[in-house]
Amino acid sequence: MIELKGKAGEAVQLEAGQSGFDLLKKTGAKGMIALKLNGKLQDLAAAITEPGEFELIGLKTPEGEEILRHSTSHIMADAVQKLFPSAKVTIGPAIENGFYYDFDYPPGFKEEDLAAIEAKMKEIVKSDVRFARSEMKREDAVKLFEQKGEKYKVELINDLPEGSVIFIYQSGDFVDLCRGPHIPSTRYVKAYKLVSVAGAYWRGNEKNPQLQRIYGTAFADQEALDAYLQRLEEAKKRDHRRLGPQLGLFTLDDAVGSGLVLWKPKGTIIRNELQKFISEHLRRQGYSQVCTPHIGRLGLYKTSGHYPYYRESQFPPIIEKDFFADKVAEGCTCAQLANLMENGEIDGYLLKPMNCPMHIKIFASDHHSYRDLPVRLAEFGTVYRWEKSGELGGMTRVRGFTQDDAHLFVTEDQLPAEIEGCLELVKIVLTTLGISEYRVRVGLREPDSNKYAGTPEQWDKAEKACLDAAKTLGVAFTAEPGDAVFYGPKIDFVVKDVIGREWQLGTVQVDYQLPQRFDLSYTGADNKPHRPVMIHRAPFGSMERFVGVLIEHFAGAFPLWLSPVQVAVLSISEKFEAYAVEVTDALKIAGIRAESDLSAEKIGAKIRSATLAKAPYMLVVGQREQAERAVSVRTRTGGDQGSMPLEAFIKRCGEEIASRSLTIGSSA
């Protein structure tokens, strides 16, 4: 007899050897697809072997959806192999909002193949075959997949840790190595859709063969699937690549180049407001602002280590004219020149990929006493990086961008407090803008890798400082080995865009390496030279990416203080043009960004166009307003707010801008 207890406290007794299906019968629950026993998921068909707490999993729960999607990926793989027998299977997990399966199939799939695969899947679903699990010995499993010619599965089995139990799932003719669990049978799949095909490298490594990935999604019912597809459509409308040009914020032009953003006047207002905002906090936190050029000699970046470590993601060096002329005169071939470039055996200039070396040189240009520290140098510094062409997109992945960068030169003792100060700044930014959906990632070094500069002792200290600081944040964070920069560990703030992709915004990085590489020092209280520690930090990350994400966050409807046009003054007719201009001028004098719409349109049309342009405030002015030197106030979302004296509106609007309020009309 096995004693089980449900979540609601109900007790159920089972005979030894009975399964989840028996439990299902006893509880009378319907539409369940899996069982969670003592926190572990298992198939309904599997025998229940231990007492404890159980939970039956339905299709409409997150865990149920994940199982459904994983099972659907098996059905898809089955369909693919029926239609394309030479396709080899690799992995096919459930992912957020769907699933994928990777196949080795060199001819490749076309999007038009998806319909045929879906049709075949329909047959498999209808055939109502069970997902049957069996346990196998490693040798038997290897033999099974070798016979089938499934070399990737063999590789996966061989990589499983010693002593792990190997499970095989069979549904109809399809056999797959899989840890499960699965839905009981294929007919549980009610609503699914194959979304796209893509190339994907085996184990994500470009050096491995490229596989064919098919993405799909599945939901408990058609309604849920339709709702999901609807949500995707809605999200597309908030995409910064659509809204940005639409609202006149930025443009991208082939003739300028891929990944190079042209900020239009309205976008520049947003960028400048953000910079003004952060600059206020920089002053408060004791930063000094500096300016540095866009290029610097190659040697500088060899010293810093950026040239060797990041050469692949840099624009090639700019070489001096004389150097080329001399080499050509010496009879140097193209291949030899390319080689010199490759090895960095050239002198020239690099379009700067990072600002730190120049800030370091500013620090090093003066002698520093311990009394001067921390020295905090900040710059809105523009950098250029050669991102792979396939990874470019909108404002979030570009080749030229401006970081709200700063470098702090601190003593070892000051490090924890300074890291916390940087984190506080990031928090101020996120809070002021109402960004609450983000995660914090502490990037640590990958053990057993030689791609990092510095000693293990320094890394230990730096990693500890980051982890300690992250703990003071009061926000959950994950430590991720392998995500460090070559010179040190870091704390990143990561947000999602409208289509669910993650982007790193703010970052704080600890660095023991560059001070050493540049032989930086300060004089301590003991009158001896000491090595400072550096912190790199950027609360926004880059202005381009941050504004891109912000456009989506606000769906283009920026809070008053950021709105390019804060107040649209709408005249009822030509008769009140003079008053409309007077009102607009009064607002401008008060430092409010105002524009008047004096067109021959009717008031309804003017309101419509100002609303579509996302102007936070609209002022309707006509006979009544002119007579009383008043304005009729309308907000972007709240409609008609009634009339008030012009001066009162200016005061209220000014206060609301100064407070950087997130809601329109909040200070009223």
Partner RNA sequence: GCCGAUGUAGCUCAGUCGGUAGAGCAGCUGAUUCGUAAUCAGCAGGUCGUGAGUUCGAAUCUCACCGUCGGCUCCA
Site string for RNA, 381-410 (x = CB under 7 A): -------xxxxxxx----------------
Residue 118 one-letter amino acid: E
Minimum distance, C-beta of residue 167 to RNA, in the bound complex (Å): 5
CA 381/CA 275 separation, integer angstroms: 12
| 370 contacts 530 by C-beta, under 8 angstroms | yes
Q: Is 536 a catalytic residue?
A: yes
Q: Which of 266, 271, 352, 407 is catalytic?
A: 407
Task: Decide whether 291 or 600 has the Cβ nearer to RNA.
Answer: 600
In the complex, the smallest distance separating the C-beta of residue 604 from RNA, rounded to whole angstroms, is 3
Instruction: Among 36, 133, 182, 241, indicate the residue that binds RNA (CB under 7 A).
Output: 241
Could you tell me the sign of the dihedral formed by the alpha carbons of 87, 93, 96, 99, in that order? positive
Minimum CB separation from RNA for residue 80, in Å? 14
Q: What gap in Å lies between CA 297 and CA 306, rounded to an integer? A: 12
Contact 188, 70 (CB under 8 A): no
Based on the residue annotation, tell me whether 356 is a catalytic residue of this protein: yes
Residues 406-465 close enough to bind RNA by CB under 7 A: none
Instruction: Report which secondary-structure segment, H or E, holds 156.
Output: helix 151-159
Print the binding letters for residues 321-340 with RNA: x by CB under 7 A, - otherwise. Answer: --------------------
405 is catalytic: yes
Choose, from 42, 81, 314, 403, the residue flagged as catalytic. 403
Positive or negative, the CA dihedral 354, 359, 361, 364 is negative
Per CB under 7 A, the segment of 116-124, 321-329, 517-525, 603-611 that binds RNA is: 603-611
Distance of alpha carbon 317 from alpha carbon 295, whole angstroms: 10
Within 614-633, the residues that bind RNA by CB under 7 A are 618, 620-625, 632
Contact window for RNA (CB under 7 A) among 122-130, 439-447, 471-479, 495-503: 495-503
Is residue 385 annotated as part of the catalytic site, yes or no?
A: yes
Interacting residues with RNA between 165 and 224 (CB under 7 A): 165-167, 176-179, 196-201, 203-206, 210, 212-213, 215
What DSSP string runs through 83-142? H-TTPEE----EETTEEEEEEE-TT---TTHHHHHHHHHHHHHHHT-B-EEEEE-HHHHH
The residue among 581, 615, 613 whose CA lies nearest residue 596 is 581
Task: Find the binding residues for RNA in span 243-262 (CB under 7 A).
Answer: 245-246, 252, 254, 258-259
In whole angstroms, give the CA distance from residue 263 to residue 243.
Answer: 14
Residue count, binding to RNA (CB under 7 A):
79
Closer residue to RNA in complex, CB, 300/620: 620
Binders of RNA among residues 259 to 288 (CB under 7 A) are: 259
In DSSP terms, 538 is beta-bridged to 507
Q: From the CB of 196, what's the least distance to RNA, in Å?
A: 5
Which of 70, 120, 153, 536 does the annotation list as catalytic? 536
Q: By CB under 7 A, is residue 476 in contact with RNA?
A: no
Residue (79 or 194) nearer to RNA, CB: 194
Closest distance between RNA and the C-beta of residue 470, in Å?
A: 21
Q: Residue 128 catalytic?
A: no
- Residue 105 CA to residue 89 CA, distance in Å, equals 9
Sequence-distant (≥ 6) Cβ neighbours of residue 241 within 8 angstroms:
393, 394, 395
Give the shortest CB-61-to-RNA separation in angstroms.
17
Residues in region 631-660 near RNA by CB under 7 A: 632, 634, 639-640, 643
Q: How far is the CB of 636 from RNA (least distance, A)?
A: 7
Q: Does 611 bind RNA (CB under 7 A)?
A: yes
Q: Which of 88, 490, 530, 545 is catalytic?
A: 490
Q: Which of 663, 643, 668, 667 is nearest to 583 (CA)?
A: 643
Q: Judged by CB under 7 A, does residue 156 bind RNA? A: yes
Residue number with CB closer to RNA (102 or 404):
102
Supply the minimum distance, in Å, between the C-beta of residue 112 and RNA. 7
Q: Site mask, RNA, residues 559-598, x = CB under 7 A? A: -------------xxxx-----------------------
Strands 617-621 and 630-635: antiparallel
Q: Which is nearer to RNA, 215 or 546 (CB)?
A: 215
Of residues 92-151, those binding RNA (CB under 7 A): 92-93, 95-96, 108-112
113 burial class (0-12, 13-18, 19+ CB within 10 angstroms)?
Answer: middle
- The two three-digit tokens of residue 618, written as one number: 């609209």
If the CB atoms of residues 394 and 532 are measured against RNA, the closer one turns out to be: 394
Q: Are 620 and 519 in contact (CB under 8 A)?
A: no
**Which CB, 100 or 493, lies closer to RNA?**
100
- 367 exposure class (CB count in 10 Å sphere: 0-12, 13-18, 19+): exposed
Instruction: Identify which of residues 267 and 381 has a Cβ nearer to RNA in the complex.
Output: 267
Question: In terms of CB distance, is 222 or 623 closer to RNA?
Answer: 623
Residue 407 a catalytic site member: yes
CA–CA dist 259, 114 (Å, integer): 32
Residue ranges of the alpha helices (H) in 239-367?
240-246, 265-284, 298-304, 306-310, 321-329, 334-343, 356-364
**Which of the residues are catalytic?**
356, 385, 403, 405, 407, 490, 536
